[in-house]
Amino acid sequence: MSFSLSAPVESRDSSIKLPPSPGNFSSSSSVDGDEDASWLEFGSSDYTDDELNKIAKSTKLQEIAKSTKLQEIASDPKKVRRILKNRELAASSKQRMLKYMIDLKHRIKFLENKNALIFEKIKLLEKDKTILMTRRRKSRFELNHWSNRPNFVML
């Protein structure tokens, strides 16, 4: 494996040619906006084309390559694959978290609406209770009034 930190992608005579990235990105630009991905040069036997594209777009791997750990990390395809896999898992984890948050927001809205309906029902039941208690008092008053009369016969 050989590495080049300064040679542009087009001027290298390596056996690997990175295909253009999907979307509006060229093979020398990263997803994060870093235009210089020319430091990468990997042997074709170690990585698939998809992995090479991901490596070329990875700002993290570019930073690692510029650090002193370049030879250690880049010389071990397992470490590079682990970094790429961790990035994929982090992205999918973020997507799951966002979906979970959206689901929670929908659930909160549903429960708030249900809570409002229950409070309205409670208010109606309290009104009914007040009306029934008033009728009860009135009925008791009338019963007492009639029972105090001498000609009243209770059945």
Please, which residues have CB within 8 angstroms of residue 15's CB and are 6 or more apart in sequence? 43, 44
At 121-135, the pLDDT tens digits run 999 999 999 999 999
Contact (Cβ atoms closer than 8 angstroms) between residue 61 and residue 53: no
Give the range of the structural domain holding residue 14, as residue numbers without chain letter. Answer: 1-75
The C-alpha atoms of residue 17 and residue 67 are separated, in whole angstroms, by 25
Contact (Cβ atoms closer than 8 angstroms) between residue 77 and residue 83: no
**Which of 32, 51, 75 is at the close of a domain?**
75
Q: What is the pTM of this model?
A: 0.44
Overall residue count recorded for the chain in this entry: 155
High-pLDDT (> 70) share of the chain, %? 55
Residue 53 is predicted with a pLDDT of: 75
Indicate the DSSP class of residue 19. P
In this structure, are 51 and 95 located in the same domain?
no
